[in-house]
């Protein structure tokens, strides 16, 4: 990006930020909470860019002063030398801030700030896959706890030995979707199973889907488009765990999407949770149509659960985690499974930003 275009864009953002700041104190805006919240959100989104730009301007002013000293022949050699050193330092700082601003100016994913709904399902590997699905759920739960995000289980199906055939859960917290969206895909685990007495290393697979949670105003669902069935909840092995028809299955007739929930004893609560998942899936479907380069088809996201379809491998004998999309290997498996996912997520975010920068240039 040319300097003039770069600066003009930042000046325009600064002006918009100032205008939003002024509007926040207007009585008519304060009286309209819906409008007020929209402006607060827009103001917050621009704040990081404007603050970074102000620091960048200070560096440019410092450079201008230092260059003026060099032109002043009346100054002694010591001052001239100090000015040269100052210029070198400030030029390096200026470059760093230009890189920061370039990243901040990249188009934002409008879904990034949303809460997220995650679906984990055991794939290839039977009981071992179900046990690892439970470990992934624990890993994501630990990561969320470290960030003080709220976790709510929407639906789950356990196995007799403590594994998870499937679990659907929501994570509420600012930017939750932005941190978890790169987890979508098939996760492969290589280890000696708890259920294996021969000591052989097995490979199993678990699939993860990550959905941005939709608000009621974003996705309107006509009740005429729904078929709602109720049935009794079941536990491991299929046994009934409830004497009433509290479990709910909702079919969205236009799309064919089916969602069910049996985690609560109340049919009303199960219906509300199932609708929450349905809205998230419909929002994702709409986003796929609007921006296919940002959101892939859900089936390709989840895959079939076969060993060959993988985004990441967790190798227990080597204490190794490898993310195959960016060829990153970390020998920190135990730490990562305790919820310390930032080294992986940060690397994936940086890679994504680099790809976006390439697209901007071309």
Expressed in angstroms, the distance from the first to the final Cα of the chain is 11
Contact 128, 193 (CB under 8 A): yes
Give the bridge partners for 116, in sequence order. 171, 212
Question: Which DSSP symbol is given to 108?
Answer: P
Q: Which fold has domain 3-104?
A: Methane Monooxygenase Hydroxylase; Chain G, domain 1 (1.20.58)
Please report the pLDDT score of residue 308 as a whole number: 47
Single out the residue of 346, 307, 113, 303 nearest to residue 213, CA to CA. Answer: 113
Q: Which CATH class is domain 116-354?
A: alpha beta
Q: Where do the structural domains in the chain lie, given as residue ranges?
A: 3-104, 116-354
Tens of pLDDT along 328-351?
Answer: 999 999 999 999 999 999 999 988
| pLDDT for the residue numbered 361 | 56
Q: What is the mean pLDDT of the chain?
A: 85
- In terms of pLDDT, which residue wins out, 107 or 244? 107
User: pTM of the predicted model, to two decimals?
Assistant: 0.70
Mean pLDDT of 107-127: 89
pLDDT > 70 fraction of the chain, expressed in percent and rounded: 87
Q: Which of 95-99, 144-148, 276-280 has the highest mean pLDDT?
A: 144-148
Other C-beta atoms within 10 Å of 233: how many? 20
- For residues 177 and 149, is the Cβ–Cβ distance under 8 A? no
Q: What does the pLDDT look like over 46-85, one tens digit per residue? A: 898 999 999 999 999 999 998 888 887 777 888 888 888 9
DSSP 225: G
Local structure of 98: helix, strand or coil: helix
Sorting pLDDT into bands at 50, 70 and 90, what band is 217?
A: low
State mean pLDDT over 140-154: 96
Distance of CA 112 to the CA centre of its chain: 6
**Cα gap 193→199, rounded to integer Å:** 8
The yes-or-no verdict on residue 301 having pLDDT over 60 is: no
- Pure H helices in 125-170: 126-146
So what's the pLDDT on residue 4? 65
Q: At what angle do helices 33-71 and 3-23 cross, to 10 degrees?
A: 140
């Amino acid at each position: 990006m040319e300097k003039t275009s770069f600066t003009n864009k930042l000046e325009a953002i600064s002006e918009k930020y100032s205008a939003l700041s002024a509007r926040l104190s207007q009585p008519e805006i304060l009286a309209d909470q819906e409008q007020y919240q929209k402006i607060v959100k827009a103001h917050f989104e621009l704040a990081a860019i404007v603050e970074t730009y102000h620091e960048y301007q200070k560096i440019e002013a410092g450079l201008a002063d230092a260059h003026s000293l060099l032109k002043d022949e009346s100054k002694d050699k010591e001052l001239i030398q100090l000015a040269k050193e100052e210029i070198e330092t400030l030029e390096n700082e200026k470059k760093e801030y230009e890189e920061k601003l370039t990243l901040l100016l990249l188009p934002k994913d409008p879904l990034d700030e949303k809460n997220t709904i995650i679906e984990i399902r055991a794939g290839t590997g039977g009981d071992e896959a179900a046990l690892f699905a439970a470990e992934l759920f624990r890993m994501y739960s630990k990561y969320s706890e470290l960030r003080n995000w709220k976790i709510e289980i929407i639906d789950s199906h356990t196995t007799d030995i403590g594994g998870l055939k499937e679990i659907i859960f929501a994570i509420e917290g600012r930017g939750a979707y932005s941190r978890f969206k790169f987890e979508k895909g098939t996760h492969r685990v290589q280890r000696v199973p708890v259920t294996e007495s021969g000591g052989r290393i097995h490979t199993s697979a678990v699939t993860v889907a990550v959905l941005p949670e939709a608000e009621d105003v974003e996705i309107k669902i006509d009740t005429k488009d729904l078929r709602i069935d109720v049935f009794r909840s079941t536990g491991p092995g299929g046994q009934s765990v409830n004497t009433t028809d509290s479990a709910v299955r909702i079919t969205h007739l236009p799309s064919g999407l089916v969602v069910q929930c049996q985690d609560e004893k109340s049919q009303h609560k199960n219906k509300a949770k199932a609708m929450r998942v349905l809205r998230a899936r419909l929002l994702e479907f709409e986003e796929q149509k609007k921006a296919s380069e940002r959101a892939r088809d859900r089936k390709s996201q989840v895959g079939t659960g076969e060993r060959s379809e993988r985004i990441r491998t967790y190798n227990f004998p080597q204490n190794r985690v490898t993310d195959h999309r960016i060829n990153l290997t970390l020998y920190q498996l135990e730490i990562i499974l305790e919820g310390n996912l930032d080294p992986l997520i940060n690397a994936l975010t940086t890679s994504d930003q680099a790809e976006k920068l390439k697209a901007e240039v071309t």
